[in-house]
Amino acid sequence: MAGSLIVEAPDVGAITLKQHVIGLDTVRAYAALSVMFAHILGPKLPTMIGWLGLSKDLAELSRYIFTGHPAVIVFFVVSGFCIHYPYTNRPLPIFAFTLARWTRIMVPALMALLLAKVLHMNKFNFMDGYILWSIVCELCYYTLYPLFLKLSCKVSFEMQLLIAFIISLSLVTYLGSDQHGGANIYGPGLNWLVALPSWLLGCVLANKHAGAKALKQHSSCGIFIWRISVAIVASLLYWLTMNTPVGFYLTMNPFAILIFFWLSAEISAQKDANSLFERMGKWSYSIYLFHAIFLVLLSKLAGKFLFISIPIILALCYLAYISIEKPSHEYARLLFRKYREQFQFVSTGNR
């Protein structure tokens, strides 16, 4: 999601951290595909399973296999990790950091918005919340991160997390939710605050990972169990949101705690940096941002179809990555290098 998922660091300071954390790209790929399949397959799965002759109840449950909002929470935790990890023991060039992050995320988002307007996808905008609500949240986190980092010299990220959780819980308890327990209904002014604990959990994880002398190695079997467990819990929370008063607005920040431990296991596991999902994770933002647009485009061009559309949509998302996202990322790096020695730095230390 949200171009928030790239670890970047300047060549500043004597301490060097490993900049690319293998395993996070795989997590990004899973999250982006979950969102895409939730939009494309989710509404149709009950009918498809019904064709197999299975019970109606089982067919109805299939609509909860792929999840959207829980996957966004995964992105938020990963984002907090990736933003904070390079600066756990080095100074933050505020202007260069903010300029680069806004460029990295907004160029593809504005291009997606333009395409959506051409296709008359009126709800694809920064105000109504379809897809882009999480982008607004990320922009808020990028902008406020220097403040969080400076504050951490006096108030630890763990304490900031606790305060943010209390504020978030108080806010959603007071405001309530929509009839489906939606967690993105509070508008661009409050959505970021509701989800802030999930993002700060990523910062806490970054501190834990940066300060660890040796990480416990997790086996392939152990990682598989973590992935299945997260998928099952996400599906259960989706079902609760749609069928009970216990909606996403109450469950997503606690769900992020499970993501915290899952990511910790993924980071410490042995993986192939060239695996399919690790490579796909590099363009997960384009999958997240453009899949719905390309689905509408294909529907207009060739009518409604399903399985044929999925590989085509993925191919178009990859094309968007090559032509839009990757150049914007490279330009963001250029801006960072240009301005990293200018303006104010936030000093950091061991936290």
Mean pLDDT, range 93-105, rounded to an integer? 95
Q: Is the pLDDT at 25 greater than 50, yes or no? A: yes
Predicted pLDDT of residue 188: 87
Q: Is the pLDDT at 215 greater than 60, yes or no? A: no
Percent above pLDDT 90 for the chain: 58
Residues 199, 141: contact at Cβ < 8 Å?
yes
**What is the SS3 assignment for 323?**
helix
Assign 9 a pLDDT band (cuts: 50, 70, 90). very low
Quick one: how far is CA 29 from the chain centroid?
10
| Integer Cα distance of 98 and 77 in angstroms | 19
**What is the SS3 assignment for 272?**
coil
Residues 281, 25: contact at Cβ < 8 Å?
yes
Mean pLDDT, range 60-87, rounded to an integer? 93
Strand ranges, E, within the chain: 92-93, 345-346
Assign 17 a pLDDT band (cuts: 50, 70, 90). very low
Out of 119-133, 174-188, 209-223, which region has the weakest mean confidence (pLDDT)?
Answer: 209-223
What are the φ/ψ torsions at residue 343 (nearest 5 degrees)? 65, -160
Assign 7 a pLDDT band (cuts: 50, 70, 90). very low
**What is the SS3 assignment for 134?**
helix
pTM greater than 0.75 = yes
* Average pLDDT of the chain, as a whole number: 86
b (16+ CB within 10 A) / e for 235-248: bebbbbbeeeeebb
